[in-house]
Chains A and B, each alone.
Chain A
Amino acid sequence: MKYIDEYRDPKLAQSLALEIHKRVTRPWVLMEICGGQTHTLMKYGIADLLPPEIELVHGPGCPVCVAPLEIVDRAIEIAARPGVIFVSYGDMLRVPGSRSDLFRVRAAGGDVRIAYSPLEAVRLAQENPTRQVVFFGIGFETTAPANAMAVWHARRAGLTNFAMLVSHVLVPPAVRLILSSPANRVQGFIAPGHVCSIMGHREYEALSAEFRVPMVVGGFEPIDLLQSIAMLVDQLEDGRCQLENQYSRSVTRMGNLPAQKVMEEVFEVTDRQWRGIGLIPASGHRFREEYAAFDAERLFGAHEIHAQEPPECISALVLQGLKKPVDCPAFGTGCTPEQPLGASMVSSEGACAAYYAYRRHTSPEVSR
Protein backbone atom coordinates (compact mmCIF):
# COMPACT_ATOMS: atom_id res chain seq x y z
CA MET A 1 0.00 0.00 0.00
CA LYS A 2 1.21 3.49 -0.85
CA TYR A 3 2.82 5.38 2.05
CA ILE A 4 3.36 2.09 3.90
CA ASP A 5 5.35 -0.36 1.76
CA GLU A 6 8.08 2.07 0.70
CA TYR A 7 8.63 2.97 4.36
CA ARG A 8 9.35 -0.69 5.16
CA ASP A 9 12.05 -1.15 2.49
CA PRO A 10 14.80 -3.29 4.08
CA LYS A 11 17.52 -1.95 1.75
CA LEU A 12 16.77 1.61 2.68
CA ALA A 13 16.68 0.60 6.35
CA GLN A 14 20.15 -0.92 6.04
CA SER A 15 21.61 2.15 4.40
CA LEU A 16 20.07 4.44 7.04
CA ALA A 17 21.47 2.21 9.78
CA LEU A 18 24.90 2.34 8.12
CA GLU A 19 24.66 6.12 7.98
CA ILE A 20 23.97 6.20 11.72
CA HIS A 21 26.89 3.83 12.43
CA LYS A 22 29.24 6.10 10.50
CA ARG A 23 28.01 9.24 12.22
CA VAL A 24 28.07 8.15 15.87
CA THR A 25 31.17 8.90 17.93
CA ARG A 26 29.81 8.60 21.46
CA PRO A 27 26.80 7.39 23.49
CA TRP A 28 23.43 9.08 23.09
CA VAL A 29 20.13 8.40 24.86
CA LEU A 30 17.07 8.97 22.67
CA MET A 31 13.40 8.73 23.60
CA GLU A 32 10.42 8.06 21.37
CA ILE A 33 7.37 9.43 23.12
CA CYS A 34 4.57 7.68 21.33
CA GLY A 35 3.56 4.09 22.09
CA GLY A 36 2.86 3.45 18.40
CA GLN A 37 6.49 4.24 17.68
CA THR A 38 7.62 1.99 20.55
CA HIS A 39 5.60 -0.79 18.96
CA THR A 40 7.26 -0.30 15.53
CA LEU A 41 10.75 -0.16 17.07
CA MET A 42 10.18 -3.47 18.86
CA LYS A 43 8.31 -5.20 16.03
CA TYR A 44 11.05 -4.52 13.48
CA GLY A 45 13.95 -4.97 15.90
CA ILE A 46 15.27 -1.51 15.04
CA ALA A 47 17.43 -1.33 18.19
CA ASP A 48 19.43 -4.29 16.82
CA LEU A 49 20.29 -2.33 13.65
CA LEU A 50 21.72 0.57 15.62
CA PRO A 51 25.25 1.00 16.93
CA PRO A 52 25.65 0.13 20.64
CA GLU A 53 26.19 3.82 21.42
CA ILE A 54 22.51 4.57 20.74
CA GLU A 55 20.21 3.76 23.63
CA LEU A 56 16.49 4.00 22.99
CA VAL A 57 14.24 4.62 25.96
CA HIS A 58 10.48 4.59 25.72
CA GLY A 59 8.27 7.45 26.78
CA PRO A 60 4.83 7.75 28.37
CA GLY A 61 3.01 7.93 25.03
CA CYS A 62 0.28 5.38 25.50
CA PRO A 63 -2.97 6.89 26.77
CA VAL A 64 -4.20 3.47 27.89
CA CYS A 65 -1.07 3.01 29.99
CA VAL A 66 -1.22 6.41 31.66
CA ALA A 67 -4.98 6.43 32.37
CA PRO A 68 -5.00 6.65 36.19
CA LEU A 69 -6.33 3.81 38.30
CA GLU A 70 -9.19 5.98 39.56
CA ILE A 71 -10.55 6.67 36.06
CA VAL A 72 -10.54 2.90 35.40
CA ASP A 73 -12.41 2.40 38.69
CA ARG A 74 -14.90 5.10 37.66
CA ALA A 75 -15.41 3.40 34.29
CA ILE A 76 -16.03 0.07 36.01
CA GLU A 77 -18.52 1.65 38.43
CA ILE A 78 -20.45 3.37 35.61
CA ALA A 79 -20.38 0.32 33.30
CA ALA A 80 -21.87 -1.89 36.02
CA ARG A 81 -24.98 0.32 36.42
CA PRO A 82 -28.26 -1.06 35.08
CA GLY A 83 -29.49 0.66 31.93
CA VAL A 84 -26.02 1.79 30.87
CA ILE A 85 -24.40 0.83 27.57
CA PHE A 86 -20.69 1.41 28.16
CA VAL A 87 -18.65 1.83 24.98
CA SER A 88 -14.87 1.80 24.83
CA TYR A 89 -11.89 1.40 22.53
CA GLY A 90 -10.90 -2.26 22.89
CA ASP A 91 -7.55 -1.57 24.59
CA MET A 92 -9.18 -0.34 27.79
CA LEU A 93 -11.19 -3.46 28.59
CA ARG A 94 -8.36 -5.47 30.11
CA VAL A 95 -6.80 -2.62 32.05
CA PRO A 96 -6.92 -3.63 35.71
CA GLY A 97 -8.68 -1.28 38.10
CA SER A 98 -8.31 -1.55 41.89
CA ARG A 99 -10.49 -4.65 42.11
CA SER A 100 -11.86 -5.53 38.67
CA ASP A 101 -11.72 -4.68 34.97
CA LEU A 102 -14.28 -3.95 32.24
CA PHE A 103 -14.15 -7.51 30.87
CA ARG A 104 -15.23 -8.82 34.26
CA VAL A 105 -18.02 -6.25 34.40
CA ARG A 106 -19.22 -7.60 31.06
CA ALA A 107 -18.93 -11.21 32.27
CA ALA A 108 -21.10 -10.26 35.24
CA GLY A 109 -23.84 -8.99 32.92
CA GLY A 110 -22.80 -5.38 32.28
CA ASP A 111 -23.46 -4.07 28.75
CA VAL A 112 -19.87 -3.23 27.76
CA ARG A 113 -19.16 -2.83 24.06
CA ILE A 114 -16.08 -2.22 21.95
CA ALA A 115 -16.08 0.48 19.29
CA TYR A 116 -13.59 1.53 16.64
CA SER A 117 -14.88 5.12 16.53
CA PRO A 118 -16.66 7.36 19.09
CA LEU A 119 -19.34 7.94 16.44
CA GLU A 120 -20.47 4.34 16.90
CA ALA A 121 -21.36 5.26 20.47
CA VAL A 122 -23.37 8.25 19.25
CA ARG A 123 -25.25 5.96 16.87
CA LEU A 124 -25.94 3.51 19.71
CA ALA A 125 -27.46 6.38 21.70
CA GLN A 126 -29.71 7.25 18.76
CA GLU A 127 -30.79 3.64 18.36
CA ASN A 128 -31.38 3.07 22.10
CA PRO A 129 -33.26 6.14 23.37
CA THR A 130 -34.24 4.46 26.66
CA ARG A 131 -30.65 3.54 27.55
CA GLN A 132 -27.84 5.79 28.77
CA VAL A 133 -24.81 5.40 26.49
CA VAL A 134 -21.41 6.28 28.00
CA PHE A 135 -18.29 6.45 25.84
CA PHE A 136 -14.87 6.05 27.46
CA GLY A 137 -13.08 9.02 25.86
CA ILE A 138 -9.48 8.12 26.21
CA GLY A 139 -6.61 9.50 24.16
CA PHE A 140 -3.92 12.02 23.40
CA GLU A 141 -4.31 15.04 21.13
CA THR A 142 -4.63 12.65 18.16
CA THR A 143 -7.91 11.22 19.45
CA ALA A 144 -9.34 14.17 21.41
CA PRO A 145 -10.75 15.97 18.32
CA ALA A 146 -12.61 12.80 17.24
CA ASN A 147 -14.07 12.44 20.73
CA ALA A 148 -14.96 16.16 20.73
CA MET A 149 -16.64 15.79 17.34
CA ALA A 150 -18.73 12.90 18.68
CA VAL A 151 -19.98 15.12 21.52
CA TRP A 152 -20.62 17.94 19.06
CA HIS A 153 -22.67 15.63 16.83
CA ALA A 154 -24.60 14.28 19.85
CA ARG A 155 -25.50 17.82 20.90
CA ARG A 156 -26.51 18.78 17.37
CA ALA A 157 -28.74 15.68 17.21
CA GLY A 158 -30.35 16.71 20.53
CA LEU A 159 -29.32 13.50 22.27
CA THR A 160 -29.84 13.48 26.04
CA ASN A 161 -28.75 9.87 26.60
CA PHE A 162 -25.12 10.21 25.44
CA ALA A 163 -22.25 11.02 27.81
CA MET A 164 -18.48 10.67 27.85
CA LEU A 165 -16.02 9.69 30.56
CA VAL A 166 -13.08 11.88 29.56
CA SER A 167 -9.48 10.82 30.12
CA HIS A 168 -7.57 12.91 27.62
CA VAL A 169 -3.93 13.67 28.26
CA LEU A 170 -1.57 16.07 26.52
CA VAL A 171 1.97 15.22 25.46
CA PRO A 172 3.98 18.45 25.94
CA PRO A 173 3.45 18.68 29.75
CA ALA A 174 4.76 15.11 30.10
CA VAL A 175 7.84 15.93 27.99
CA ARG A 176 8.39 18.98 30.19
CA LEU A 177 8.18 16.81 33.30
CA ILE A 178 10.75 14.35 31.92
CA LEU A 179 13.13 17.13 30.88
CA SER A 180 12.75 18.95 34.22
CA SER A 181 13.65 15.88 36.27
CA PRO A 182 17.16 15.97 37.79
CA ALA A 183 17.40 12.26 36.91
CA ASN A 184 16.68 12.87 33.21
CA ARG A 185 18.96 10.97 30.82
CA VAL A 186 17.22 11.75 27.53
CA GLN A 187 19.34 13.78 25.08
CA GLY A 188 17.09 13.72 22.03
CA PHE A 189 13.39 13.17 21.38
CA ILE A 190 11.34 11.71 18.56
CA ALA A 191 8.18 13.81 18.78
CA PRO A 192 4.86 12.02 18.11
CA GLY A 193 3.87 12.39 14.46
CA HIS A 194 0.14 11.89 14.79
CA VAL A 195 -0.24 14.13 17.84
CA CYS A 196 1.66 16.75 15.81
CA SER A 197 -0.58 16.13 12.76
CA ILE A 198 -3.32 17.63 14.93
CA MET A 199 -1.39 20.13 17.07
CA GLY A 200 1.43 21.13 14.70
CA HIS A 201 5.00 21.23 15.96
CA ARG A 202 5.08 24.69 17.56
CA GLU A 203 4.91 23.33 21.10
CA TYR A 204 7.91 21.05 20.48
CA GLU A 205 9.89 23.91 18.94
CA ALA A 206 9.41 25.78 22.21
CA LEU A 207 10.40 22.76 24.35
CA SER A 208 13.48 22.12 22.20
CA ALA A 209 14.61 25.73 22.60
CA GLU A 210 13.82 25.96 26.32
CA PHE A 211 15.60 22.75 27.33
CA ARG A 212 18.28 22.86 24.64
CA VAL A 213 17.39 19.38 23.42
CA PRO A 214 17.13 18.21 19.78
CA MET A 215 13.70 17.01 18.66
CA VAL A 216 12.55 15.41 15.43
CA VAL A 217 8.87 14.90 14.60
CA GLY A 218 8.78 11.29 13.42
CA GLY A 219 6.42 8.99 11.57
CA PHE A 220 5.48 5.43 12.44
CA GLU A 221 7.03 3.13 9.86
CA PRO A 222 10.54 1.64 10.27
CA ILE A 223 12.11 3.99 7.70
CA ASP A 224 10.45 6.98 9.38
CA LEU A 225 11.95 6.01 12.72
CA LEU A 226 15.41 5.22 11.38
CA GLN A 227 15.47 8.53 9.53
CA SER A 228 14.32 10.34 12.69
CA ILE A 229 17.10 8.67 14.68
CA ALA A 230 19.65 9.60 11.98
CA MET A 231 18.46 13.24 12.10
CA LEU A 232 18.75 13.31 15.91
CA VAL A 233 22.23 11.77 15.80
CA ASP A 234 23.27 14.37 13.20
CA GLN A 235 22.07 17.18 15.45
CA LEU A 236 23.76 15.73 18.54
CA GLU A 237 27.06 15.04 16.79
CA ASP A 238 27.01 18.56 15.24
CA GLY A 239 26.16 20.13 18.60
CA ARG A 240 22.96 21.53 17.11
CA CYS A 241 19.64 21.66 18.87
CA GLN A 242 16.45 22.40 17.00
CA LEU A 243 13.07 21.03 15.99
CA GLU A 244 13.14 19.16 12.68
CA ASN A 245 10.24 17.51 10.91
CA GLN A 246 10.81 14.06 9.42
CA TYR A 247 7.04 13.47 9.05
CA SER A 248 6.44 16.48 6.79
CA ARG A 249 4.05 14.49 4.60
CA SER A 250 1.51 14.80 7.42
CA VAL A 251 2.76 17.41 9.92
CA THR A 252 2.83 21.19 9.50
CA ARG A 253 3.90 23.85 11.97
CA MET A 254 0.32 24.92 12.77
CA GLY A 255 -1.31 21.49 12.62
CA ASN A 256 -4.94 20.75 11.82
CA LEU A 257 -6.90 23.90 12.64
CA PRO A 258 -10.47 22.51 12.18
CA ALA A 259 -9.58 19.66 14.57
CA GLN A 260 -8.07 22.02 17.14
CA LYS A 261 -11.15 24.23 16.90
CA VAL A 262 -13.71 21.55 17.77
CA MET A 263 -11.45 20.20 20.53
CA GLU A 264 -11.26 23.66 22.10
CA GLU A 265 -14.99 24.18 21.63
CA VAL A 266 -15.87 21.11 23.72
CA PHE A 267 -12.95 20.71 26.15
CA GLU A 268 -10.69 22.92 28.27
CA VAL A 269 -7.26 22.19 29.71
CA THR A 270 -7.07 20.94 33.28
CA ASP A 271 -4.68 19.14 35.67
CA ARG A 272 -4.63 15.38 35.16
CA GLN A 273 -3.40 12.33 37.07
CA TRP A 274 -1.09 10.05 35.03
CA ARG A 275 -0.89 6.43 36.07
CA GLY A 276 2.47 5.74 37.62
CA ILE A 277 3.57 9.38 37.39
CA GLY A 278 1.03 11.37 39.43
CA LEU A 279 -0.53 14.77 38.91
CA ILE A 280 0.82 16.83 35.99
CA PRO A 281 -0.47 20.42 35.89
CA ALA A 282 -2.43 21.47 32.79
CA SER A 283 -1.87 18.07 31.18
CA GLY A 284 -5.35 17.00 30.09
CA HIS A 285 -8.93 17.90 29.21
CA ARG A 286 -12.25 18.33 30.95
CA PHE A 287 -15.62 19.37 29.54
CA ARG A 288 -16.32 23.06 29.16
CA GLU A 289 -19.29 24.26 31.22
CA GLU A 290 -21.47 24.55 28.06
CA TYR A 291 -21.01 20.80 27.49
CA ALA A 292 -21.39 19.73 31.15
CA ALA A 293 -24.54 17.76 30.29
CA PHE A 294 -22.32 15.23 28.47
CA ASP A 295 -19.90 14.77 31.38
CA ALA A 296 -20.31 11.18 32.63
CA GLU A 297 -18.37 11.92 35.86
CA ARG A 298 -20.91 14.58 36.86
CA LEU A 299 -23.86 12.58 35.63
CA PHE A 300 -22.93 9.57 37.78
CA GLY A 301 -21.15 11.40 40.63
CA ALA A 302 -18.12 9.29 39.71
CA HIS A 303 -15.53 11.94 40.61
CA GLU A 304 -16.00 10.82 44.22
CA ILE A 305 -14.14 7.59 43.43
CA HIS A 306 -10.43 7.69 44.29
CA ALA A 307 -7.77 4.98 44.21
CA GLN A 308 -4.20 4.25 45.27
CA GLU A 309 -1.67 2.85 42.81
CA PRO A 310 -0.15 -0.55 43.70
CA PRO A 311 3.49 -0.18 44.81
CA GLU A 312 4.99 -3.32 43.19
CA CYS A 313 4.88 -2.06 39.57
CA ILE A 314 7.82 0.02 38.28
CA SER A 315 5.90 1.37 35.26
CA ALA A 316 6.33 4.93 36.57
CA LEU A 317 10.09 4.66 36.03
CA VAL A 318 9.63 2.87 32.70
CA LEU A 319 7.28 5.60 31.45
CA GLN A 320 9.86 8.28 32.25
CA GLY A 321 12.71 6.43 30.56
CA LEU A 322 14.52 5.81 33.86
CA LYS A 323 14.15 1.99 33.76
CA LYS A 324 13.72 -0.63 31.04
CA PRO A 325 10.90 -3.19 31.27
CA VAL A 326 13.46 -5.98 31.75
CA ASP A 327 14.75 -4.20 34.87
CA CYS A 328 11.50 -5.17 36.65
CA PRO A 329 11.70 -8.38 38.72
CA ALA A 330 8.09 -9.16 37.83
CA PHE A 331 8.59 -8.74 34.03
CA GLY A 332 7.50 -11.87 32.15
CA THR A 333 6.93 -13.82 35.37
CA GLY A 334 4.52 -12.16 37.83
CA CYS A 335 3.49 -9.67 35.13
CA THR A 336 2.49 -10.73 31.60
CA PRO A 337 -0.05 -9.40 29.06
CA GLU A 338 -2.46 -12.12 30.27
CA GLN A 339 -2.01 -11.12 33.93
CA PRO A 340 -0.75 -7.55 33.92
CA LEU A 341 0.35 -5.92 37.17
CA GLY A 342 0.53 -2.48 35.67
CA ALA A 343 -0.76 -0.63 32.67
CA SER A 344 2.39 -0.61 30.54
CA MET A 345 1.96 -4.40 30.22
CA VAL A 346 -1.72 -4.12 29.26
CA SER A 347 -1.83 -2.21 26.01
CA SER A 348 0.12 -3.58 23.05
CA GLU A 349 1.68 -0.13 22.82
CA GLY A 350 2.93 -0.18 26.40
CA ALA A 351 6.70 -0.55 26.57
CA CYS A 352 6.47 -3.70 28.75
CA ALA A 353 3.95 -5.42 26.45
CA ALA A 354 5.97 -4.50 23.34
CA TYR A 355 9.13 -5.97 24.90
CA TYR A 356 7.21 -9.09 25.87
CA ALA A 357 5.48 -9.58 22.50
CA TYR A 358 8.64 -9.23 20.45
CA ARG A 359 10.87 -11.29 22.74
CA ARG A 360 13.06 -8.47 23.90
CA HIS A 361 13.32 -10.38 27.16
CA THR A 362 17.03 -10.67 27.07
CA SER A 363 19.70 -8.01 26.82
CA PRO A 364 21.02 -7.27 23.28
CA GLU A 365 24.39 -8.82 24.22
CA VAL A 366 22.75 -12.14 24.99
CA SER A 367 20.40 -12.19 22.00
CA ARG A 368 23.13 -11.42 19.45
Chain B
Amino acid sequence: MCLAVPGKIIETEVVNGVRLGRVQFGGIFRQAYLDFVPEAAVGDFVLVHVGFAISRIDAEEAAETYRLLEQAGAPQEELGGSDS
Protein backbone atom coordinates (compact mmCIF):
# COMPACT_ATOMS: atom_id res chain seq x y z
CA MET B 1 0.00 0.00 0.00
CA CYS B 2 2.86 2.37 0.78
CA LEU B 3 4.56 1.35 -2.47
CA ALA B 4 6.40 4.28 -4.05
CA VAL B 5 8.40 3.90 -7.24
CA PRO B 6 11.45 5.97 -8.26
CA GLY B 7 11.17 7.69 -11.62
CA LYS B 8 12.89 10.52 -13.51
CA ILE B 9 11.14 13.79 -14.29
CA ILE B 10 11.30 14.28 -18.07
CA GLU B 11 9.27 17.48 -18.32
CA THR B 12 7.00 19.63 -16.21
CA GLU B 13 3.96 21.77 -16.97
CA VAL B 14 1.45 23.83 -15.02
CA VAL B 15 -2.22 23.03 -15.63
CA ASN B 16 -4.91 25.06 -13.78
CA GLY B 17 -2.31 26.19 -11.29
CA VAL B 18 -1.16 22.63 -10.59
CA ARG B 19 2.39 21.52 -11.37
CA LEU B 20 2.51 18.19 -13.19
CA GLY B 21 5.48 16.11 -14.26
CA ARG B 22 5.96 13.53 -16.98
CA VAL B 23 7.88 10.84 -15.11
CA GLN B 24 9.82 7.95 -16.64
CA PHE B 25 9.87 4.57 -14.89
CA GLY B 26 12.14 2.39 -17.04
CA GLY B 27 10.24 2.20 -20.32
CA ILE B 28 6.97 3.52 -18.91
CA PHE B 29 5.88 7.16 -18.66
CA ARG B 30 3.23 8.42 -16.26
CA GLN B 31 1.97 11.78 -15.14
CA ALA B 32 2.59 12.70 -11.50
CA TYR B 33 1.48 15.66 -9.38
CA LEU B 34 4.46 17.65 -8.14
CA ASP B 35 2.54 19.64 -5.44
CA PHE B 36 4.59 18.03 -2.67
CA VAL B 37 8.03 18.46 -4.28
CA PRO B 38 8.22 22.13 -5.37
CA GLU B 39 12.03 21.86 -5.41
CA ALA B 40 12.09 18.97 -7.93
CA ALA B 41 13.16 19.85 -11.47
CA VAL B 42 13.57 18.11 -14.84
CA GLY B 43 16.25 15.42 -14.52
CA ASP B 44 15.57 14.80 -10.82
CA PHE B 45 14.38 11.43 -9.56
CA VAL B 46 11.24 11.39 -7.42
CA LEU B 47 9.38 8.66 -5.53
CA VAL B 48 5.83 8.43 -6.86
CA HIS B 49 2.95 7.11 -4.76
CA VAL B 50 -0.72 7.04 -5.96
CA GLY B 51 -0.04 9.68 -8.59
CA PHE B 52 1.91 12.07 -6.35
CA ALA B 53 5.65 12.60 -6.06
CA ILE B 54 6.21 12.25 -2.30
CA SER B 55 9.94 12.99 -2.22
CA ARG B 56 12.84 14.05 -4.39
CA ILE B 57 15.62 11.48 -4.23
CA ASP B 58 18.76 13.10 -2.87
CA ALA B 59 21.38 11.94 -5.40
CA GLU B 60 24.33 12.94 -3.21
CA GLU B 61 22.97 11.10 -0.15
CA ALA B 62 22.28 8.05 -2.29
CA ALA B 63 25.80 8.06 -3.81
CA GLU B 64 27.48 8.51 -0.43
CA THR B 65 25.46 5.75 1.29
CA TYR B 66 26.07 3.40 -1.60
CA ARG B 67 29.80 4.13 -1.67
CA LEU B 68 30.05 3.22 2.03
CA LEU B 69 28.00 0.11 1.40
CA GLU B 70 30.30 -1.07 -1.38
CA GLN B 71 33.37 -0.27 0.68
CA ALA B 72 32.03 -2.32 3.59
CA GLY B 73 31.28 -5.16 1.19
CA ALA B 74 34.67 -5.21 -0.58
CA PRO B 75 36.92 -6.97 1.98
CA GLN B 76 34.57 -9.95 2.35
CA GLU B 77 34.70 -10.63 -1.37
CA GLU B 78 38.47 -10.86 -1.11
CA LEU B 79 38.02 -13.31 1.74
CA GLY B 80 36.03 -15.58 -0.50
CA GLY B 81 32.42 -14.31 -0.49
CA SER B 82 30.89 -16.31 -3.33
CA ASP B 83 28.92 -14.94 -6.27
CA SER B 84 25.26 -15.30 -5.28
User: Which A residues have a C-beta under 8 Å from some C-beta of B?
Assistant: 1-4, 6, 10-16, 18-19, 34-36, 61-64, 89, 91, 116-120, 138-140, 142-143, 145-146, 149, 153, 192, 194-195, 197-198, 220, 223, 227, 246, 248-251, 256, 258-259, 262, 347, 349
Contact = CB atoms under 8 A, between A and B. Distances in A.
Interface in B48-84: 49-52, 54-55, 57-59, 61-62, 65-66, 69-70, 72-74, 76-77, 81-84
A1 B47 CA distance: 13
B41 interface: no
A4 B57 CA distance: 12
Contact of B6 (A1, A153, A192): A1
30 contacts: A2-B45, A3-B57, A4-B6, A10-B84, A14-B76, A14-B84, A15-B77, A19-B72, A34-B2, A116-B51, A117-B50, A117-B51, A117-B52, A118-B50, A118-B51, A120-B51, A142-B49, A143-B1, A145-B52, A146-B49, A149-B33, A149-B52, A197-B47, A197-B55, A248-B65, A249-B58, A251-B55, A256-B55, A259-B36, A262-B35
B36 A143 contact: no
Contacts of A4: 6
Given A11-B84, A248-B58, A258 B38 contact: yes
A1 B62 CA distance: 14
Given A145-B54, A192-B2, A197-B47, A14 B82 contact: yes
A220 B2 CA distance: 10
B29 interface: no
Contacts of A138: 1
Nearest to B74: A15
Given A62-B1, A140-B1, A258-B36, A249 B54 contact: no
Interface of B: 1-4, 6, 8, 18, 25-26, 33, 35-38, 45, 47, 49-52, 54-55, 57-59, 61-62, 65-66, 69-70, 72-74, 76-77, 81-84
A210 to B, nearest CB: 24
Contacts of B69: 12, 16, 223, 227
A11 B83 contact: yes
Contacts of B70: 12
B8 A2 contact: yes
Contacts of A12: 69-70, 73
B52 A250 contact: no
A72 to B, nearest CB: 15
A259 B61 CA distance: 22
Given A15-B77, A142-B2, A220-B4, 11 more contacts: A1-B26, A3-B57, A15-B72, A15-B74, A19-B72, A116-B50, A142-B49, A145-B54, A149-B35, A248-B62, A248-B65
A34 B2 CA distance: 8
The list of the 6 closest CB pairs from A to B, nearest first, reads A117-B51, A15-B73, A10-B84, A249-B62, A3-B6, A142-B2
B56 to A, nearest CB: 8
A195 B49 CA distance: 11
A14 B3 contact: no
Contact of A250 (B18, B47, B50, B84): B47
Given A118-B50, A149-B35, A194-B47, A6 B66 contact: yes
Contacts of A195: 2
B65 A19 contact: no
A230 B52 CA distance: 31
Contacts of A262: 35
B54 A197 contact: yes
Given A15-B72, A19-B72, A142-B49, A2 B6 contact: yes
